[in-house]
Structure 1
Amino acid sequence: MPPFLRAILLILSSALLTPFAEQYSSSQTQILQQLRKQLEFPKQLDAWSTIKDLCYSPPSTFLTVTCEENSISEIKIVGGKLVKPDKFDGYPVSGFTLSPAFSADSFFTTLSRLPSLKVVILVSLGIWGPLPDKIHRLSSLEVLDLSSNFLYGSIPPKLSTMTKLQTLAFDGNFFNETVPDWFDSLSNLTNLSLQHNRLQGTLPLSIGRVHSLTGISLSGNSISGEIPDLSGLASLEVLDFSDNELDSEIPLMPKMLVTILLSTNRLTGEIPRELGALSRLQHLDLSFNSFDGTLPLSLFSLPNISYVNLASNKLTGSFPTSLTCSSQLGFIDISANMFVGGLPSCLSSNANNRVVKFSGNCLNVVSQHQHDTSFCHDHAKEKLSKIKKLGLQVTIVVGGTLFVLMLGFVFLVFCRRNCKGAVAEQSLLPNPSTDNSATGLSSELLVNARYVSQAMKLGTQLLPTFRTFSLEDLKEATKNFEKSSLIGEGTAGKLYKGRLENGTYVAIRCLLLSKKYSIRNLKLRMDLLAKLRHPHLVCLLGHCIDGAADDSNVGRVFLIYEYVPNGNFRDHLAERSMESVLKWPDRLAALIGIAKAVNFLHTGVIPGFLNNQLKTHNVLLDEHLVAKVSDYGLSIITEQIQKNEASAESQCVLHSKSKACEAVDLEDDVYSFGLILLESLIGLLISETHKTVFLNEMALSFSSQEEQKQVIDPIVIGTSSHESLSTVISLTNKCLSLPSSLRPSMEDVLWNLQYAAQLQATADLDQRSDVGS
């Protein structure tokens, strides 16, 4: 073709295609504007009203639109609807979800009109309803992330036709059917994440045939039954089935695994020796299960292992003095098991700045609480006895079955000969009656069992044994309660530091009871309080009732707690030394620990403990900055803790402009936790006037970062991401709502804090990546 003719054709084609491209771009813009309308005009999409060509809009953390050859290939929108309601039954909830006018079916129909989409990320937008089948029309999708919304029902089967999918994430929704049995049809799927939904039933065998998977996360559901064979997943690096109801042994695992999270299930049997051969393994968490037997000690010397958590199982055996640990190993928790003997040097807390937790065993150490050796040996004998009994029972059952079969055979022969006589004799036999009586179970025992039925699921019965102390024991521990042993005094009574005969330091709270109890009544209440065991509660070791030996009334009781030597949260917030100052991630970790403890007090026992006098000086931090709530549940003994009038007055100052100050429930744990959040945000060097300003600003939703900087602790500003900080500010505002009906539950509080920590971790990772590049 002559050059001049080629040039003419090029000009003609350009002239013809340009209007078409502009028309197509305009059509896509209209679709995006329609999506914006259906999402009810969130602030994140305000920029769409001014930008003509959205393909060239600048990306941000909350909003990204990417185009390839003038076609939209990626949409990412991260919203701000973070606080989940107490209940969600499939109907829209004002303030949490999009309005009743929203239709998931219409929204995804509109979205499917962008057929070139490869990435769809729609997080925390309040989208509610069943996920419609028609989403499969987006056949080019490689990434689909609809996390932190309110999608419910089943995961649509037609997703199985989206064969280009590489990442599927539906975390933090309300899907409540079973795990689909068609994931193996997604031949390119590398990352499957369905965490924190309401999925039930068992894991399908087909999940072990998704050979492309590198990560699978199903934690925080109600999945039961066995873990299927996953050994064929040759590329799998991350496996997270934690916080479910799985009750099998651990099957063979893929050799490329880097992270294994199976904590808080009902897994049994021995820990497979094959785990000790996973050379790439870095993070192993098998805590809060029912594993028994001895450990594969090669776990500690794996070349890349950095974290091993085996706490709260039934593991036995001892550690050889020659045990070697990987230089990468930074955290080990073997507490609340049945280990005996000594600790080898590589499990010393001082080795390579390694954190080692080993309380609640029968080890020959004095630095942490240990049971007597007989405790662990008795357990081993009990287990052996159970095995023998089981064998005897099996023998009896098998023998009995054979005997019954033989009798049946004889009976059949006999019936053939004497059928009529046999029937006549059988008709004379009396009908057996059913005995439904509950003799032997007192009403008190039944009440106690109901009271702690949920607490027992945590396996916390393996924590230090609760015991009764004598007054002489306490006098000896405190040198007769001399003044130098007094370490605190408040509305809950005086607090002393003591040292027991075995060298263990304890904190002893003396309660003066305004109401007189009989010893029997008080012991019942103490038994209930003794069952409150949680990793983020200061462990209650025992009690002492100061009274007569008979059942006469008493007015004083001592509570003996573990001693936490690293000070309280309030003192740490006031610290300004650069070496010791609590940065935002540290504060978030402490707040999450407090929230976990309070949520357990509210929902982990029946009925819950709702008024726990939460204050920053009642929260202790151990040497690893793990938060532990103290002085919890005292209302069951004191009936009603006296309010601190000064505190009440200062808290009403915060709402001085409101006529509803008298409506503030100062004993409400969520409101009290809101004040802890407030102190964590603004620090303790701010005046009460500034606190009032802070609450007023929160009511205006903090429209600018400059306003935040005027009141928030500079340490927080300098070490937090905007998204993480905004999440906690919004949460604080809701916790401090004057009407208690508007406050979130502690479960919702915990969810939002964990989300804020996730946002902060992502921001820190991005920052490190930017520095590295």
Structure 2
Amino acid sequence: MVILYYLFAGYISETMKMGASLPPYRTFALDELKEATNNFDSSCFISEGPHGQIYKGVLSDGMHISIRGLKMRKRHSPQTYMHHVEMISKLRHSHLVSALGHAFECNQDDSCVNSVFLIFEFVPNRSLRSCVSGSSGEKISWTQRIAATIGVVKGIQFLHTGIVPGLYSNNLKITDIVLDNNLNVKISSYNLPLSSENKRMISNGTYPGLKGNVQARIKGEDKNDVYDIGVILLEIILGRPIMFHNEVGTLKDLLHVSIKTDDIARRSIVDPAVHKECSDESLMTMMEICVRCLSDDLTERPSVEDILWNLQFAAQVQNSWKRDSSDHSYSPAPSSRDT
């Protein structure tokens, strides 16, 4: 028989509640989670991965949530996990699938924690990959792709600097970037505190999104995330799924060569769905920052702030180009004095 420990969550800073639409972070009763998932019925099961088993559920007030159940390898009291829970309570940002609360499931005999349930907002599972390189469905535009990458980088920037200590080596994958109904980007999987499986995976140098040994990437914490941003940019530009690590170097070299060629050659490698609608300056900026992110030399990879500046510049020149193109294409009807 198990009991649920309740922890007081009043320590949460109001300044960390990113997004007025989210309810305050709180502790949940285990019975609430059981009711929301019909006692964790298989019909509510989403997936199982480095962050434990994930279920979807609906609270009594109608709010949709996702629940991540983590089995604890070592037996500790709930107080031992207070620091981790406090960090998780601060993971609230418009470009993260944000934390809403937690629950502890404890052993009745010694009150040690058996499982930790982390409750997050639920975002429909429409991945960024399906919107840029999926085989079905309408692909998002070049302007929307730039906006999506800006959202991803802002989310990573928050993980690095918005909480103390920052969360690095987030094993970022394009399949873990989801879009809501308004095409707002959210990172659904990142380096959660308490996830021993995730930490073990990082220390082993594995990378589920790309098959192959990438131990060389696990050297500079922030630069690992920069590399992963580069892989996402590569897929966004080319419009094709990248499944193997050895593809990245080849495609990076292709981009590097195309930067030095002419506009026609550059566009020949870009996703055909968008290659006619992007300005050359915008495309060049995206390609250049992508190549820099994927540099084998960690010291040559840009900072997250540098990436963000370049993406915002790409968005700006793209918008200016679209306005100019629209103005030039407009031809007013002749007036009566002209006929």
Fold match (TM-score > 0.5): yes
Name the CA distance, whole Å, in 2 between partners of 1:748 and 1:758. Answer: 15
1:713 aligns with 271
1:466 aligns with 25
* Distance change >3 Å, CA 686–CA 717, structure 1 → 2: farther
| 1:731-755 superposed Cα distances (whole Å, 9 cap, x missing partner) | 1111111222221111111111101
| 1:380-418 superposed Cα distances (whole Å, 9 cap, x missing partner) | xxxxxxxxxxxxxxxxxxxxxxxxxxxxxxxxxxxxxxx
* Distance change >3 Å, CA 646–CA 470, structure 1 → 2: same
Query: How much does 1:576 deviate?
Result: 5.5
Q: Does residue 1:682 correspond to 2:238, yes or no?
A: yes
Name the CA distance, whole Å, in 1 between partners of 2:250 and 2:92. Answer: 39
Name the CA distance, whole Å, in 1 between partners of 2:230 and 2:92. Answer: 24
Name the CA distance, whole Å, in 1 between partners of 2:122 and 2:285. Answer: 34
Of residues 68, 85, 89 in structure 2, which corresponds to 1:509? 68
2:336 aligns with none
| 1:535-575 superposed Cα distances (whole Å, 9 cap, x missing partner) | 11112111111213687432421111111125121222234
Of residues 661, 665, 675 in structure 1, which corresponds to 2:218? 665
Q: Does residue 1:479 correspond to 2:32, yes or no?
A: no
1:745 aligns with 303
Q: Does residue 1:759 correspond to 2:320, yes or no?
A: no
- Provide the aligned C-alpha RMSD in A: 2.9
Name the stretch that deviates more: 759-768 or 665-674.
665-674
Of residues 174, 181, 192 in structure 2, which corresponds to 1:634? 192
Of residues 578, 596, 611 in structure 1, which corresponds to 2:169? 611
* Distance change >3 Å, CA 692–CA 512, structure 1 → 2: same
What secondary structure sits across from 2:319 in the alignment?
helix
* Distance change >3 Å, CA 628–CA 566, structure 1 → 2: same
Name the CA distance, whole Å, in 2 between partners of 1:740 and 1:497. Answer: 39
Q: Contact 1:618/1:629 (CA < 8 Å) preserved in 2?
A: yes
Q: Contact 1:664/1:739 (CA < 8 Å) preserved in 2?
A: no
Name the CA distance, whole Å, in 1 between partners of 2:236 and 2:72. Answer: 33
What secondary structure sits across from 1:600 in the alignment?
helix
* Distance change >3 Å, CA 766–CA 577, structure 1 → 2: farther
Q: Contact 2:77/2:113 (CA < 8 Å) preserved in 1?
A: yes
1:533 aligns with 92
Name the CA distance, whole Å, in 2 between partners of 1:707 and 1:574. Answer: 21
Query: How much does 1:622 deviate?
Result: 0.8
Post-superposition, which runs of at least 4 consecutive aligned residues in structure 1 deviate over 6 A? none
| 1:27-46 superposed Cα distances (whole Å, 9 cap, x missing partner) | xxxxxxxxxxxxxxxxxxxx
Query: How much does 1:664 deviate?
Result: 2.1
Of residues 241, 254, 260 in structure 2, which corresponds to 1:697? 254
Q: Contact 1:460/1:534 (CA < 8 Å) preserved in 2?
A: yes
TM-score norm. by structure 2 comes to 0.81
Query: How much does 1:646 deviate?
Result: 6.2
Q: How does 1:50-449 map to 2 (within 5 A)?
A: none
Name the CA distance, whole Å, in 2 between partners of 1:520 and 1:466. Answer: 18
Name the stretch that deviates more: 664-673 or 545-554.
545-554
Name the CA distance, whole Å, in 1 between partners of 2:139 and 2:192. Answer: 31
The residue type paired with residue 650 of structure 1 is K
Query: How much does 1:650 deviate?
Result: 2.6
Q: Contact 1:529/1:633 (CA < 8 Å) preserved in 2?
A: no
Q: Contact 1:635/1:641 (CA < 8 Å) preserved in 2?
A: no
Of residues 38, 43, 54 in structure 2, which corresponds to 1:495? 54
Name the stretch that deviates more: 469-478 or 683-692.
683-692
Name the stretch that deviates more: 562-571 or 763-772.
562-571
Query: How much does 1:516 deviate?
Result: 4.3
The residue type paired with residue 581 of structure 1 is K
What secondary structure sits across from 2:70 in the alignment?
strand
Q: Contact 2:160/2:166 (CA < 8 Å) preserved in 1?
A: yes
Q: Contact 2:256/2:288 (CA < 8 Å) preserved in 1?
A: no
2:79 aligns with 520
Name the CA distance, whole Å, in 1 between partners of 2:270 and 2:226. Answer: 21
| 1:250-298 superposed Cα distances (whole Å, 9 cap, x missing partner) | xxxxxxxxxxxxxxxxxxxxxxxxxxxxxxxxxxxxxxxxxxxxxxxxx
The residue type paired with residue 623 of structure 1 is N
* Distance change >3 Å, CA 574–CA 610, structure 1 → 2: same
The residue type paired with residue 772 of structure 1 is Y
Q: Does residue 1:597 correspond to 2:150, yes or no?
A: no
Name the CA distance, whole Å, in 1 between partners of 2:185 and 2:53. Answer: 22
Query: How much does 1:489 deviate?
Result: 2.3
Name the CA distance, whole Å, in 2 between partners of 1:700 and 1:569. Answer: 26
Contiguous gaps of at least 5 residues in structure 1: 1-447, 653-660
Name the CA distance, whole Å, in 1 between partners of 2:255 and 2:272. Answer: 17
Q: Contact 1:539/1:561 (CA < 8 Å) preserved in 2?
A: yes
Name the CA distance, whole Å, in 1 between partners of 2:182 and 2:129. Answer: 16
Name the CA distance, whole Å, in 1 between partners of 2:74 and 2:271. Answer: 43
The residue type paired with residue 590 of structure 1 is A
Q: Contact 2:65/2:121 (CA < 8 Å) preserved in 1?
A: yes
* Distance change >3 Å, CA 594–CA 735, structure 1 → 2: same
What secondary structure sits across from 2:95 in the alignment?
coil
2:101 aligns with 542
| 1:60-116 superposed Cα distances (whole Å, 9 cap, x missing partner) | xxxxxxxxxxxxxxxxxxxxxxxxxxxxxxxxxxxxxxxxxxxxxxxxxxxxxxxxx
How many residue pairs get aligned? The number is: 313
Q: How does 1:447-458 map to 2 (within 5 A)?
A: 456=15
* Distance change >3 Å, CA 662–CA 587, structure 1 → 2: same
Q: Contact 2:68/2:117 (CA < 8 Å) preserved in 1?
A: yes
Query: How much does 1:684 deviate?
Result: 3.1
Q: Contact 1:519/1:551 (CA < 8 Å) preserved in 2?
A: no
Q: How does 1:725-744 map to 2 (within 5 A)?
A: 725-744=283-302
Name the stretch that deviates more: 525-534 or 565-574.
565-574
Q: How does 1:532-571 map to 2 (within 5 A)?
A: 532-548=91-107, 552-565=111-124, 567-571=126-130
Name the CA distance, whole Å, in 1 between partners of 2:200 and 2:317. Answer: 38
Query: How much does 1:595 deviate?
Result: 0.9
Q: Contact 1:665/1:740 (CA < 8 Å) preserved in 2?
A: no
* Distance change >3 Å, CA 697–CA 765, structure 1 → 2: same
1:122 aligns with none
Q: Contact 2:258/2:265 (CA < 8 Å) preserved in 1?
A: no
* Distance change >3 Å, CA 641–CA 540, structure 1 → 2: farther
Contiguous gaps of at least 5 residues in structure 2: 1-10, 332-339
Of residues 194, 204, 211 in structure 2, which corresponds to 1:650? 211
Rg (Cα) greater in structure: 1
* Distance change >3 Å, CA 550–CA 608, structure 1 → 2: farther
| 1:116-163 superposed Cα distances (whole Å, 9 cap, x missing partner) | xxxxxxxxxxxxxxxxxxxxxxxxxxxxxxxxxxxxxxxxxxxxxxxx
Name the CA distance, whole Å, in 1 between partners of 2:54 and 2:38. Answer: 14
* Distance change >3 Å, CA 722–CA 750, structure 1 → 2: same
Name the CA distance, whole Å, in 2 between partners of 1:574 and 1:765. Answer: 27
What secondary structure sits across from 1:650 in the alignment?
coil
The residue type paired with residue 719 of structure 1 is E
The residue type paired with residue 720 of structure 1 is C
